[in-house]
């Protein structure tokens, strides 16, 4: 929901895709920004640390489906296709 509200689907999708290791993807979120209900992917180390997020699926294909659900591909910022899980 926040990815869409903040209009960062493409950035979020890139982070999830770049973090893939097998059937898991990992990424970090800024603690300070999360505290106020927003999303930010920190570029480096943060003084207060980051929130480490890992999403694991039963297979590589299932992980790709979860990523497509969370962060669908877009054209001009609009999702091309919304899928159901």
Spans of all domains in the chain = 2-74
pLDDT of residue 45: 84
pLDDT score of 85 = 86
Q: What is the pLDDT at residue 19?
A: 97
Mode of pairing for the β-strands spanning 20-21 and 24-30:
antiparallel
Q: Give, for all 85 residues of the chain, the pLDDT tens digit.
A: 999 999 999 999 999 999 999 999 999 999 999 999 999 999 888 888 899 999 999 999 999 999 999 999 999 888 999 999 8
27 closest CA partner among 46, 14, 36 = 14
Q: What is the CATH number of domain 2-74?
A: 3.30.1440.10
pLDDT of residue 49: 86
pTM of the predicted model, to two decimals?
0.89
The answer to whether 49 and 32 have CB atoms below 8 angstroms apart is no
């Amino acid at each position: 929901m926040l990815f869409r509200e903040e209009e960062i689907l493409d950035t979020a999708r890139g982070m999830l895709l770049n973090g893939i290791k097998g059937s898991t993807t990992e990424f970090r979120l800024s603690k300070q920004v999360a505290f106020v209900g927003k999303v930010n992917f920190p570029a480096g180390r943060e003084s207060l640390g980051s929130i480490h997020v890992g999403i694991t699926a039963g297979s590589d294909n299932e992980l790709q489906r979860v990523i497509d659900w969370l962060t669908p591909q877009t054209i001009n910022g609009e999702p091309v296709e919304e899928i159901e899980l």
